[in-house]
Structure 1
Amino acid sequence: MEYPHWRRLAAFYVTSQTVSLLGSFLVHYAMIWYITLTTKSGSALAIATLCGFIPMFLISGFAGVWADRYSRRKLIVAADAVVALATLVVMLAFMSGYKELWLMYTVLAIRSLGSGVQSPAVSALTPQFVPKERLMKVNGILGSVQSLGNVASPAVAGILLTFWPLYLVFAVDVVTAIIGIFLLLVFVKVGHHNPGVAHETSQLREFKLGLTYVRQHFFVGRFLTYQALCTFFLGGPVIIGNLQITRVFGADSWRLATVETCFGIGAAWGGLAVSAWAGAKQEYKTIGIALTLLGALTMGLAVSPQFWCFAGFTALIGLAVPYCSVPTMTLLQRTINPDQMGRVMSISTMIATATMPLGSGILSPLADAFDVRLVMAISALGLALSGLLIWRDRQFAKIPLPDAYSESESELEQPAATTVETAE
């Protein structure tokens, strides 16, 4: 189904996601800071981190099946509503004076489940109404919004916690969720994608069919393998970077905050840059070049003699990251069979949420055994090598160009199931 007014739909869609994301980021930082300030316990923070990671990983596979089986728009709304309800419950508990830590962990876990359900639905809904040749622009804007939220939310959360009780910060998330849901339901009227899969089919079997699709597709399985490799080595600049700052330049909180801000600002500008100029016409070339550049910039982190040099390289890394993430999302969105979109996106999410902690879990102990700058250099080489492999992989040259792509032209794809779109 074509949407001649897709720009208006995209504008309201981006606005709804922006409002919802800002509220979510704000409350997430507020909860983490509250746990940090009240417990001063590393174990408490570790539990909070697990509560924010494990549920999302466990639900992602089934969430992809739901995104292919049910209305993606309604899944996004349902996830937002459940998270808002959980936030409302903890807000009322805090208002009544009940401030047990287990309640915070429970809400973090519920929020993680909501993110796991929402992520593949959001990724799969966008190409339903945005033309393939415009996906890069819309994805770039969404990525920029997310980066701006990551930059602004810690500062706003800190200001609000200074002057407001925590339950009022929770109220902000409830209000933004209601606004986001309203905009999505009222102004983003996108048809219901129904792949015609019999509902008697078990969800586990449908997820296995998604894995089979990835394995048999002429490039998706190969591409997701590279994604896992890249995400593993990203543990260097993401995790090891903080260790290098504290050990080499000084254990000052303002240094950590400065680097986070530099990265966020760079990523926000990078998202806008991608929406204006997407790079090479074949997305895999842009991804490969950007990853190779990321490797070089990460090597710059490893050899930085001064803190401000380190911060500058971090800003450039933030600028380059969208040229990896946005083309990756766009490439998958425009080439995957629409009937398999949710499942493939959920598999991609599972890979990212598993390999990043794995990378940090391996690289962090190495940083204790060896010079942290050496470990950062290893990450840099891994990123650069990953980029070169993607850039020079001849299998990716078979991917149809955006303006030439149609499912009938790709004989190597798994045959598509019949699709039907009906108005919700």
Structure 2
Amino acid sequence: MNKSNWKSSISRFLTAQTISLFGSSIVQYAIVWYITLSTSSGKMLTISTLCGFLPQIVISLFAGVWIDRYDRKKMIMLSDSVIAVSTLLLAVTFLSGHKSIWLLFLVLVIRSAGTGIQTPAVNSVIPQIVPQEELMRINGINSTLSSLMMFLSPAVSGVILSVAPFETTLLIDFLTAVIGVGITATVYIKPVHKERSRLNSGMEEIRSGFLYLKENHFIKRLLSYQLIILFLISPSAFLTPLMVKRTFGADVWRLTASEMTYSLGMIAGGLLIASWGGFRKKMNTTMSAGAFYGMLMIALGSAPVFPFYLVCNALIGITSPCYNAPITVTIQEKVPQEMHGRIFSFMQIATSCALPLGMAVFGPLADVVKVQTLLTATGISVVAISLAVWKMHFLEY
């Protein structure tokens, strides 16, 4: 790490990733909306969801090895470029008149796989640029930028689709990717020193990652906690629109307000953790945020009026970066840099599996049990588990 100009390097790097994320988010919404409007089919939307989740889960296992084995900056640029080229080819194909829904599914698969590489690679690169004492602040800023792009992209995508053809949105994504890759290329990132070992294959390196996870009790407990909590919070992540419709009314503005308050809360939470930095012991921040999240789930489940629901929803958004950022920084600090790719990939697999698994359980239950009951029960569980795990395992961190 060149400490004399790390601020310039991280500024360019985060700018590149923000521009790329913005274009990708715009296209992601556009593709889903195009499938929705073209087919009006729940089956097709289910397939598109699977195309967005499964490839990311599958490739993450191998992506961790590639990230630890090869130049991480080049991995980020390559994954971004592959996504951009696939989007460009889709635009050209659609412009030529071949408008197949299955081509959209193929591109969603490629984009999901690219994200499975890019996300852990970005988390692994940041500590190569940023001094350790600045990691919390920079991860908070990164969270804020990501949340802001996710907040703006649906509106921008909707505006573009209302005034221009679908293919125009695809071309915008290609342009933002080119800009992002170009800026990333200018950032110097000192390579991680990798000991030449006897490991000969990717599978052996995957096994070494699992062995490290098995022997590192702190990271193993942290990953287990993450799996359980993400499973339990899935009702608040996916079922709140259903609760809003059933309890407060099916007005579109209510659903929009629900999404917007959460996104604005995420932006505020990123700014909070970036300026505050959290407690001295990072796990105190994560565990207290987890317990507070659970209490807010209980409050959501008992919300008497819609404005109270929106306040709780915004507060949940604020707690999310305060929960996630310390976990990211803890891994960046405590895990050897040559193992970052694999551990962050394991965390991504946990995230990608736990939420859909939670929906597979709680989704059907929502048809026979009130969503409020599910939010209350899972919220109580989140509070209890956060406090218990905090006391048992993480006080020294």
TM-score by length of 2: 0.98
> Would the aligned equivalents of 2:214 and 2:220 in 1 still touch at CA under 8 Å?
yes
- Indicate the residue corresponding to 1:76 in structure 2: 76
Deviates more, 1:377-386 or 1:214-223: 377-386
Query: 3-state SS of the aligned residue for 1:98?
Result: coil
- Indicate the residue corresponding to 2:5 in structure 1: 5
Counterpart-to-counterpart distance in 2, 1:57 and 1:199: 27
Q: Which amino acid aligns with 1:206?
A: E
Alignment of 1:20 with 2:20, yes or no, is yes
Deviations 1:265-291 (A, max 9, x none): 110111011100022111100111111
Q: Which amino acid aligns with 2:8?
A: R
> Would the aligned equivalents of 1:57 and 1:353 in 2 still touch at CA under 8 Å?
yes
Counterpart-to-counterpart distance in 2, 1:314 and 1:112: 28
CA pair 396-101 structure 1, distance change in 2 beyond 3 A: same
Cα deviation for residue 378 of structure 1 reads: 1.4
Residues 291-310 of structure 1 mapped to structure 2, 5 A cutoff = 291-310=290-309
Cα deviation for residue 198 of structure 1 reads: 4.4
The sequence identity of aligned pairs, in percent, is 36
Residues 115-130 of structure 1 mapped to structure 2, 5 A cutoff = 115-130=115-130
Counterpart-to-counterpart distance in 2, 1:94 and 1:199: 48
- Indicate the residue corresponding to 1:418 in structure 2: none
Counterpart-to-counterpart distance in 2, 1:386 and 1:195: 38
Counterpart-to-counterpart distance in 1, 2:389 and 2:30: 39
- Indicate the residue corresponding to 1:227 in structure 2: 226
Q: Which amino acid aligns with 1:107?
A: V
- Indicate the residue corresponding to 2:59 in structure 1: 59
CA pair 357-197 structure 1, distance change in 2 beyond 3 A: farther
Cα deviation for residue 94 of structure 1 reads: 1.3
Counterpart-to-counterpart distance in 1, 2:173 and 2:388: 42
Counterpart-to-counterpart distance in 2, 1:398 and 1:68: 29
Q: Which amino acid aligns with 1:4?
A: S
> Would the aligned equivalents of 2:56 and 2:112 in 1 still touch at CA under 8 Å?
yes
Query: 3-state SS of the aligned residue for 1:369?
Result: coil
- Indicate the residue corresponding to 2:287 in structure 1: 288
- Indicate the residue corresponding to 1:111 in structure 2: 111
Counterpart-to-counterpart distance in 2, 1:329 and 1:58: 21
> Would the aligned equivalents of 1:285 and 1:390 in 2 still touch at CA under 8 Å?
no
Counterpart-to-counterpart distance in 1, 2:358 and 2:264: 25
> Would the aligned equivalents of 1:69 and 1:197 in 2 still touch at CA under 8 Å?
no
Query: 3-state SS of the aligned residue for 2:192?
Result: strand
Deviations 1:63-115 (A, max 9, x none): 00011100000000000000000000001011111111000000000000000
Alignment of 1:378 with 2:393, yes or no, is no
Counterpart-to-counterpart distance in 1, 2:144 and 2:195: 35
Cα deviation for residue 208 of structure 1 reads: 1.1
- Indicate the residue corresponding to 1:171 in structure 2: 171
Counterpart-to-counterpart distance in 1, 2:388 and 2:62: 31
Cα deviation for residue 320 of structure 1 reads: 1.0
Deviates more, 1:160-169 or 1:231-240: 231-240
Counterpart-to-counterpart distance in 2, 1:250 and 1:262: 17
Cα deviation for residue 254 of structure 1 reads: 1.9
- Indicate the residue corresponding to 1:405 in structure 2: none
Query: 3-state SS of the aligned residue for 2:365?
Result: helix
- Indicate the residue corresponding to 1:32 in structure 2: 32
Residues 145-160 of structure 1 mapped to structure 2, 5 A cutoff = 145-160=145-160
Residues 329-340 of structure 1 mapped to structure 2, 5 A cutoff = 329-340=328-339
Structure 2 unaligned spans of 5+: none
- Indicate the residue corresponding to 2:352 in structure 1: 353
Counterpart-to-counterpart distance in 1, 2:290 and 2:240: 18
Cα deviation for residue 235 of structure 1 reads: 0.3
> Would the aligned equivalents of 1:136 and 1:326 in 2 still touch at CA under 8 Å?
yes
Query: 3-state SS of the aligned residue for 2:189?
Result: coil
> Would the aligned equivalents of 2:284 and 2:395 in 1 still touch at CA under 8 Å?
no
Query: 3-state SS of the aligned residue for 1:219?
Result: helix
Cα deviation for residue 56 of structure 1 reads: 0.3
- Indicate the residue corresponding to 1:100 in structure 2: 100
Cα deviation for residue 4 of structure 1 reads: 2.3
TM-score by length of 1: 0.92
> Would the aligned equivalents of 2:199 and 2:205 in 1 still touch at CA under 8 Å?
no
Deviations 1:119-175 (A, max 9, x none): 111111111121111011111011111111111111111110000101111111001
CA pair 200-225 structure 1, distance change in 2 beyond 3 A: closer
CA pair 45-136 structure 1, distance change in 2 beyond 3 A: same
- Runs (4 or more) in structure 1 with deviation over 6 Å come to none
Q: Which amino acid aligns with 2:207?
A: K
Deviates more, 1:215-224 or 1:1-10: 1-10
Q: Which amino acid aligns with 1:378?
A: A
Cα deviation for residue 338 of structure 1 reads: 1.2
Among candidates 377, 394, 397, match of residue 396 of structure 1: 394
Cα deviation for residue 391 of structure 1 reads: 2.4
CA pair 390-131 structure 1, distance change in 2 beyond 3 A: farther
